Amino acid sequence: MRKEEVENMVPVNYLQVVQTEIKDTSRAFLLEWIVDVHRKFRLQPESLYVTAHLIDQYLSRVKVMKNQLHLLGVGALLISTKYEEIYPPDLRDLLAVSENKFSREQVLTMEQSILHALNFKVTSPSAYRFLERFRRLEYTFDDKEVFFFAQYIQEVAMLDASLLKFSPS
């Protein structure tokens, strides 16, 4: 996992280099919305991290207009839930929580664009996977309260693009 995490890290300055309209605050608002949707649908924790990873990977490769950022989030969420969930939410449910700002075809086109841009490489070791691993290795870390607090810190840290310089482990 440590070898793979290094291979899949995004450039820290991708928002300045690749994106002209997307700033770190826009990224943070998008991820905050995704966290809310994630909780609303009661998705697996890893779906959240895969979604964030897909968004960062895509934004580091493809220039996105600000009005398309929310569409990117829905497309990434659709991919991650198909990959991680036993029962992923229907596309119509994702469109409904997006207040029907997009059509079904727009989301499916974005999904296709994400997958092609990333060469269908959907996952990477996430901070959550490392947290789970550390929990299994350290018997004193088995306290659920400590684990959930660490998970909360990870989710808050996910919003700050400057922390992308640190590996998930």
Model pLDDT, residue 141? 59
* pTM of this structure: 0.89
Average pLDDT of the segment spanning 136-150: 74
Mean pLDDT of 40-50: 94
pLDDT on residue 93: 94
Q: Give the pLDDT band (50/70/90) at residue 140.
A: low
- Give residue 147's pLDDT: 81
Q: Which whole-number Å values give the CA distances from 7 to 4, 20, 57, 80, 163, in the listed order?
A: 5, 25, 12, 20, 17
Is the per-residue pLDDT at 155 higher than 90? Answer: no
Q: CA 130, 133, 137, 143: dihedral to nearest 10 degrees?
A: 90
> What six digits make up the tokens of 118?
């990333």
Which 8-state DSSP code applies to residue 82? H
- Look at residue 142 and tell me whether its pLDDT is greater than 70: no
Question: What's the CA gap between 33 and 18, in Å, rounded?
Answer: 23
- pLDDT of 106 above 70: yes
Q: Calculate the average pLDDT of the chain.
A: 90
Residues 18-39 have a mean pLDDT of 93
Looking at residue 63, its pLDDT comes to 94
pLDDT for the residue 71: 96
For 24, residues 6+ apart whose C-beta sits below 8 A from its C-beta are 15, 160, 161, 162
Across residues 76-104, what is the average pLDDT? 94
In the predicted structure, residue 54 carries a pLDDT above the cut 90: yes
How high is the pLDDT of residue 139? 61
**How much is the average pLDDT of 111-135?**
90
Helix (H) or strand (E) holding 107: helix 104-117
